[in-house]
């Protein structure tokens, strides 16, 4: 690239000082360049120093850190030497920052428009009127709905994906030379992520601004970055163009990162369960269950979350529950655990009716269903040592004490592949992945029949998360425990679950064996979910946007409806007059595969054939195009 250099980072060093006054290097001599109009991605796992480096471009370090050497030049000016007053000028006008959580960035009490234009006006770059005009242009460029009037709304009046794009508008309003994007799509659902990525890419291209994109997600980086810097432990492992890094990584660490990228969800990924643990009676059987919050009035919850749910968890099977945030995945697990009594319907454990409230359940029933919480950080009592945390269920359910208890604790630690001396440590002294293992070990100690795992890998780095999944698979094979595995990540579920339940707005839209759910015919929503999972391939975003599901499906909010199909407003094949008025019939396919849709199976299959044909034509055209250039 022969464009003008905008940012030069030379041998950047940042250190931390701990309580004892020791200096600990965090960033150990990092060098790279950013040219005008170029997006540079910093990738690495947590602790790699990627956020620290990106913040240095704002002449900022987190408290406790300091610049230890090197230089970071933006347009020839060294940010590390900037005086406090000068940094005020730089931030927001020369360099703009986009944080991970838009919801936490916006002030809920001020209108969006005011906040978007604030920094441009404050820095005297634009007058309020000019800024307002520019903001509307940006809203339009970012494809936000109703661009002329979205500015007078308050942050809670727009969706999460829209807020994320509005934050981009806020950053771009003052026409900064450089944008710093810190994991801007990590917290979003896959379908929302696509919409945000597309808008970011378009606006960065149109504004011709340079950007630092910080993320751990290689598949996302492949869509948006021109140049990639791979970091580990504050050092550059490898850097190069996106094409080179993604298609031809040379460093072993990069290769390891690539291997941890989850494959595209498809049939045949999972490990089919052996028949040895199977029994006639399902472990958990949920029938016509409706649940929600805010108390129950006339048999209906005030705020309904789940409606008419029918789910079965067979003995020794893994049932994956997927859906976007707010679809009721966690609520389903909470109802099964008795933490939230259902309003209607029944839950059976080993063909025995369970009380809705866990306080009315018998001890052995409680012991058989164990809940594993999402965040190991908060799910483990910080004041108890690991031995006590794991030992408590042993004592509580099985009456083990003293030496016997300790022996069992060691045995369980072994099962989750942790050394016995961990029994005397506090949770604070473990890494994130280890804490999650302890979290599961505690449930395992109860010797349960069913483990309800709520997003247990979501907060972990990809390599660590992959190890946890490996462990869960091994545990299932060894103990024959059934799992309800809740995740928003279809790839993870596909690689681990025997059956998949797809939830949308509190209803089951499709369920069945994993391989059946992930092969056509699909429910239109499942299809949208599958095609939204980013692939580690340059150009995937553009290809996907061509599909018609995307055009219809994204940029719409989920509506929870009491009658009709909840997906209707986003469905590309909805039948006007039917879908929004009647509940969809549940269509039975082979092997217990069910799809709840007004369209017949034949119609759904037909769509699939059409899509395949269109795809082939595209590929054909592309092939021809390539040949054309070659000759």
Partner 1 sequence: MTEQSPTTKEEAILAEIDSFAELPDAPPKRRIRLSWVGKLSVAIVVFWLIICVIGPSIAPFHEMDMDGDDGFLGYHANEYGTFILGTDYLGRDTLSRIIYGARNTIGISLASTVLAYLMGITLGILAAVKGGWIDMGISRVNDAILALPTIMLGLIAIAWLGSSIPVLIGTASIIYASSVFRIARALGQDIMVQDFVEAAKARGEGVWWVIRAEVLPNAAMPLATDFGLRLVFVVLFISSLSFLGLGVQPPASDWGSMVRENLQGLTYGSYASIWPAFAIATFTIAINLIVDDVSAKSGGSLATKMV
358: contact with partner 1 by CB under 8 A: yes
Distance CA 163, CA 12 (A): 33
Choice from 24, 152, 252, 591 touching partner 1 (CB under 8 A): 252
What phi and psi values does residue 16 have, to the nearest 5 degrees? -115, 155
- The least distance separating partner 1 from the CB of residue 148, rounded to whole angstroms, comes to 42
287: contact with partner 1 by CB under 8 A: no
Taking a C-beta distance cutoff of 8 angstroms, is the pair 145, 199 a contact?
Answer: no
Choice from 5, 256, 277, 287 touching partner 1 (CB under 8 A): 256
Distance CA 294, CA 628 (A): 64
Choice from 210, 228, 335, 430 touching partner 1 (CB under 8 A): 430
Taking a C-beta distance cutoff of 8 angstroms, is the pair 325, 270 a contact?
Answer: no
Burial class (CB in 10 A: 0-12, 13-18, 19+), 156: exposed
The answer to whether the bond into 521 is cis (omega within 30° of 0) is: yes
- State the number of CA atoms in the 13 A half-sphere of 448 facing the CB: 29
- The least distance separating partner 1 from the CB of residue 63, rounded to whole angstroms, comes to 11
Taking a C-beta distance cutoff of 8 angstroms, is the pair 320, 499 a contact?
Answer: yes
- The least distance separating partner 1 from the CB of residue 21, rounded to whole angstroms, comes to 12
Residue 581, both tokens: 């008025």
382: contact with partner 1 by CB under 8 A: yes
Residue 563, both tokens: 């009658």
Contacts of 177 (CB under 8 A, 6+ apart): 6, 36, 74, 75, 94, 95, 209, 210
For partner 1, give the closer residue by CB, 207 or 395: 395
Choice from 53, 80, 131, 366 touching partner 1 (CB under 8 A): 366
463: contact with partner 1 by CB under 8 A: yes
393: contact with partner 1 by CB under 8 A: yes
Choice from 25, 350, 396, 573 touching partner 1 (CB under 8 A): 396
- The least distance separating partner 1 from the CB of residue 410, rounded to whole angstroms, comes to 16
542: contact with partner 1 by CB under 8 A: no
Taking a C-beta distance cutoff of 8 angstroms, is the pair 131, 117 a contact?
Answer: yes
- The least distance separating partner 1 from the CB of residue 509, rounded to whole angstroms, comes to 28
Residue 296, helix vs strand vs coil: strand
Residues 209-248 that bind partner 1 (CB under 8 A): 232-233, 237
Residue 570 Cα distances to 324, 470, 500, 581, angstroms: 14, 35, 22, 15
331: contact with partner 1 by CB under 8 A: no
Residue 332, both tokens: 């389903």
Choice from 26, 181, 464, 508 touching partner 1 (CB under 8 A): 464
425: contact with partner 1 by CB under 8 A: yes
For partner 1, give the closer residue by CB, 381 or 557: 381
Q: Where does this chain bind partner 1 (CB under 8 A)?
A: 232-233, 237, 251-253, 256, 337-339, 358-359, 361, 363, 366, 370-371, 373-375, 378-384, 392-393, 396, 417-419, 425, 428-431, 433-434, 442, 446, 463-464, 467
């Amino acid at each position: 690239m022969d464009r003008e250099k905008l940012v030069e980072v030379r041998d950047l060093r940042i250190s931390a000082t701990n309580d004892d006054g020791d200096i600990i290097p965090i960033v150990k001599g990092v060098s790279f360049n950013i040219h005008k109009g170029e997006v540079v991605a910093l990738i690495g796992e947590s602790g790699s120093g990627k956020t620290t480096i990106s913040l240095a471009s704002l002449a900022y370090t987190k408290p406790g850190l300091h610049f230890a050497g090197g230089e970071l030049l933006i347009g020839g000016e060294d940010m590390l030497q900037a005086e406090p007053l000068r940094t005020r000028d730089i931030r927001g006008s020369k360099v703009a920052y986009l944080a991970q959580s838009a919801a936490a960035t916006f002030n809920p009490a001020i209108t969006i428009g005011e906040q978007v234009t604030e920094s441009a006006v404050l820095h005297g770059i634009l007058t309020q009127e000019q800024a307002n005009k520019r903001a509307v242009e940006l809203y339009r460029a970012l494809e936000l709905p109703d661009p002329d009037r979205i500015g007078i709304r308050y942050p809670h009046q727009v969706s999460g994906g829209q807020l994320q794009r509005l934050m981009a508008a806020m950053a771009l309003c003052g026409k900064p030379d450089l944008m710093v994007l810190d994991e801007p799509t990590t917290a979003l659902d896959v379908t929302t992520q696509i919409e945000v990525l597309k808008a970011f890419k378009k606006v960065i291209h149109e504004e011709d601004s340079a950007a630092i994109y910080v993320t751990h997600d290689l598949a996302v980086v492949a869509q948006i970055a021109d140049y990639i810097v791979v970091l580990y432990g504050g050092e550059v492992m490898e850097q190069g163009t996106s094409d080179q890094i993604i298609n031809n990584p040379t460093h072993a660490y990069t290769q390891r990162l690539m291997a941890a990228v989850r494959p595209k969800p498809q049939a045949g990924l999972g490990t089919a369960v052996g028949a040895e643990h199977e029994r006639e009676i399902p472990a958990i059987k949920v029938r016509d269950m409706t649940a929600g919050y805010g108390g129950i009035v006339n048999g209906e919850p005030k705020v309904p979350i789940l409606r008419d749910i029918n789910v079965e968890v067979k003995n020794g099977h893994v049932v994956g529950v997927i859906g976007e945030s707010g679809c009721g995945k966690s609520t389903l697990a909470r109802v099964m655990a008795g933490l939230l009594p259902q309003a209607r319907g029944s839950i059976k454990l080993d063909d025995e009716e369970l009380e809705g409230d866990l306080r009315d359940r018998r001890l052995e029933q409680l012991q058989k269903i164990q809940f594993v919480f999402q965040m190991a950080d908060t799910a483990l009592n910080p004041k108890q040592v690991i031995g006590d945390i794991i030992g408590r269920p042993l004592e509580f359910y099985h009456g083990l004490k003293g030496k016997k208890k300790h022996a069992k604790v060691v045995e369980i630690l072994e099962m989750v592949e942790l050394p016995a001396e961990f029994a005397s440590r506090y949770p604070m002294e473990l890494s994130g992945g280890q804490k999650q293992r302890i979290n599961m070990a505690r449930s395992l100690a109860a010797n349960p029949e069913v483990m309800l795992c709520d997003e247990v890998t979501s907060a972990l780095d990809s390599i660590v998360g992959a190890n946890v999944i490996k462990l869960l698979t091994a545990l299932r094979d060894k103990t024959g425990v059934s799992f309800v595995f809740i995740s928003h990540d279809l790839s993870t579920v596909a690689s681990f679950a025997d059956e998949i339940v797809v939830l949308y707005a509190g209803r089951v839209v499709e369920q069945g064996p994993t391989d059946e759910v992930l092969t056509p015919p699909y429910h239109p929503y499942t299809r949208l979910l599958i095609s939204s999972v980013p692939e580690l391939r340059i150009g995937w975003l553009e290809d996907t946007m061509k599909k018609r599901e995307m055009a219809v499906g994204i940029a719409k909010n989920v509506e929870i409806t009491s009658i009709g199909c909840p997906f209707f407003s986003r469905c590309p094949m909805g039948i006007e007059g039917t879908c929004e008025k009647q509940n969809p019939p549940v269509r039975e396919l082979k092997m217990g595969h069910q799809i709840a849709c007004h369209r017949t199976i034949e119609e759904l299959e037909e769509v699939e054939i059409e899509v395949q044909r269109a795809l082939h034509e595209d590929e054909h055209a592309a092939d021809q195009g390539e040949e054309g250039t070659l000759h």
